[in-house]
């Protein structure tokens, strides 16, 4: 959302010989921050690739979190027999 909207503003600014900030002001935004706040938020259930417009670090971070969650789940499943066995002892 942010990237596409900003590219449209930058394209229009270049076409009319203005800066991007001047074009934002013409469209009713005070500054870049107000422009960003006007864009919708990412949904909570979106895929990590949706964050690609924010930078590759965001995508890699959420892929890494998913990897860690999978490893954690696998290790918990490996420990379940031992937990059951030792839970029955005094």
Residues 62/51, Cβ–Cβ less than 8 Å: yes
pLDDT in tens, 5-64: 888 999 999 999 999 889 999 999 988 888 888 888 888 888 888 888 888 898 999 999
CA 79/CA 25 separation, integer angstroms: 59
Residue written as token pair 């005070």: 30
pLDDT at 78: 97
pLDDT exceeds cutoff 70 at 68: yes
Radius of gyration of the chain (CA): 24
Name the DSSP class of 31: S
pTM for this prediction: 0.59
Confidence of residue 1 (pLDDT cuts 50, 70, 90): low
Residues near 42 by beta carbon (within 8 Å), at least 6 away in sequence: 50, 51
């Amino acid at each position: 959302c942010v990237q596409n909207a900003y590219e449209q503003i930058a394209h229009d600014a270049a076409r009319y010989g203005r800066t991007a900030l001047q074009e934002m002001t013409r469209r009713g935004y005070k500054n870049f921050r107000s422009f960003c706040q006007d864009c919708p938020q990412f949904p909570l259930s979106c895929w990590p690739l949706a964050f690609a417009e924010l930078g590759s670090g965001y995508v890699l971070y959420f892929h890494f979190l998913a990897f860690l969650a999978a490893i954690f789940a696998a290790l918990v499943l490996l420990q379940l027999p031992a937990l059951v066995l030792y839970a029955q002892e005094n």
